[in-house]
Amino acid sequence: MKAENTVFRSTCCFRPELKQYPKIDLPVYPRSTGHFIRMPGNREEVKGGEKNFVQLFWGIRGTPVFEKNGMRHVLFPGYVIYCLPGEPYRIRNRLEECEYRWIAFDGPRAADFMRSFGYPENAFHAGPCPHRNFINFEEHLLVRTPSSWRQMFCEICNILAAAGGSTEESSSENRKLQEILFLCKSRLSDPGLNIKTLAGELKLDRTTLLRIFRRKMNISPSHYLNMLRLQRALSLLQNPRLTLVEVAELSGFRDSNYFCRFIRKNTGKRPSQWR
């Protein structure tokens, strides 16, 4: 690794036994974390195979440029970029100071674990940096008890989950999604609740509703409604005082015969077997 100029201010915390994994079974192993503020003109170059771990960077201030895979990626504030094990990259700071946090984890499954979140390999918008999660990770890394290793793994998951929790679109879409979810839950027992009625009540075009829901939830509104109804039905079936007809009605089904087929199709069991 080659770095030019000086990092103006930084904090780093590493696992002492960098070449050994902790003696605890985890999907990936916490390795290190840092908080960097780089001066203008600062550069860092990492050669291929030099860093055998996953690194994730979260932009806070400034516009550092990451170069990897022959592409240039600007890490704007609120943007995230990650590098896989062995991947070469270069960081160049522009004219102003830049600030970002990073976290690293390793293990035989580290690359697959990172890819499993489905994030693009370019810099992408993620929202404000979850500072508290990075700080919690660092605090546990200083303790390193079995419980602390598990807590650090949880913080890795929290940080990765937070990276997908926001989008560049205006918050009006987020509010619309919350309205859709609230209407689905509050009107679940209404058998007439479907995409058409949802769009009508929210004064949305059907195509717009589908686009918002699929982009933010990765499933269709119909599938989401069906899963909500299935969950409610399985819960209500535990109550022996309710008849199948009552459970079907409370779960949003007009026809108890269709309700029975729906339960069997989605669970492999008849409603009576869930009693």
Considering only residues 168 and 55, tell me which one the structure prediction assigns the higher pLDDT: 55
Considering only residues 8 and 117, tell me which one the structure prediction assigns the higher pLDDT: 117
Give the CATH H-level superfamily of domain 171-274: Homeodomain-like (1.10.10.60)
For 253-265, the pLDDT digits (tens) are 999 999 999 999 9
Whether pTM exceeds 0.95: no
* The residue to which tokens 């009552």 are assigned: 246
The third-level CATH classification (topology) of the domain covering 2-163 is Jelly Rolls (2.60.120)
Our measurement of the distance from residue 262's CA atom to the centroid of its chain's CA atoms, rounded to an integer in Å, reads 31
> How is residue 28 written in tokens?
């990936």
**CB burial string 223-258: b at 16+ within 10 A, e below:** eebeebbbebbbebbeeeeeebeebbbbbbbeebee
For 188-216, the pLDDT digits (tens) are 999 999 999 999 998 899 999 999 888 87
- By the 10 Å C-beta count (0-12 exposed, 13-18 middle, 19+ buried), 175 is classed as exposed
User: What are the residue ranges spanned by the domains of the chain?
Assistant: 2-163, 171-274
Whether residue 163 contacts residue 80, with contact meaning beta carbons closer than 8 Å, is answered with: yes
Residue 23 has pLDDT above 80, yes or no: yes
